[in-house]
């Protein structure tokens, strides 16, 4: 089991979510963060004063997956988040010692198995077709 943490551009979040759902990865937590990597500082003028923006808005995703899902999760994130520009983000992979699903008490891989993976994958593939209602909110 691994914990995959990805830092991506906010405007790429919808594409990343769809790519993950297509792969059957449904358990995702997100959080807005700001950070500084290889991107250049931005100087903006606000009320007559120059302001240096050193930190850029990003989204952090945390995804706990079983071993068979590690590479496909990474590949889905990279494919959906990549723009080719500095600031596309990073992915960190860490081992997970133990996972417990609170609702049922299931542990480890059983706690990571999505209960609705088929429905989510079906809905994600339907989202790619034009004029089809999107059942995932």
13-23 mean pLDDT: 95
Asked if the model's pLDDT at residue 88 lies above 90, the reply is yes
7 Cβ neighbours under 8 A, 6+ residues apart: 33, 35, 58, 59, 60, 61, 89, 90, 91
Asked if the model's pLDDT at residue 132 lies above 90, the reply is no
**If pLDDT is split at 50, 70 and 90, which confidence band does 131 have?**
low
**pLDDT for position 133:** 55
For all residues of the chain together, what is the average pLDDT? 86
Nearest to 31 by CA among 56, 10, 15, 55: 10
| pTM recorded for the entire structure | 0.76
Q: Model confidence over 94-107: pLDDT tens digits?
A: 999 999 999 999 99
**pLDDT for position 127:** 67
Q: Model confidence over 43-77: pLDDT tens digits?
A: 777 788 877 777 889 999 999 999 989 999 999 99
Residue 92, classed as helix, strand or coil, is strand
**pLDDT for position 22:** 92
- Beta-carbon neighbour count of residue 8 at 10 Å? 25
**CA-CA distance, 9 to 83, in Å (whole number)?**
9
Q: Which domains does the chain have, with CATH numbers?
A: 2-127 (3.30.70.120)
């Amino acid at each position: 089991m691994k914990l995959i943490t990805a830092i991506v551009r906010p405007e790429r979040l919808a594409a990343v979510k769809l790519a993950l759902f297509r792969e059957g990865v449904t358990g995702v937590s997100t959080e807005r963060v700001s950070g500084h990597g290889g991107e250049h500082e931005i100087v903006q003028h606000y009320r007559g004063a120059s302001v240096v923006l050193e930190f850029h808005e990003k989204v952090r995703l945390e995804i706990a997956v079983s071993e068979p899902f590690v590479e496909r999760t990474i590949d889905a994130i990279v494919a959906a988040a990549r723009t080719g520009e500095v600031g596309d983000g990073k992915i960190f992979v860490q081992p997970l010692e133990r996972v417990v699903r609170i609702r049922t008490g299931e542990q480890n891989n059983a706690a990571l198995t999505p209960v609705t993976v088929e429905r989510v994958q079906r809905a994600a593939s339907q989202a790619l077709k034009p004029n089809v209602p999107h059942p995932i909110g």
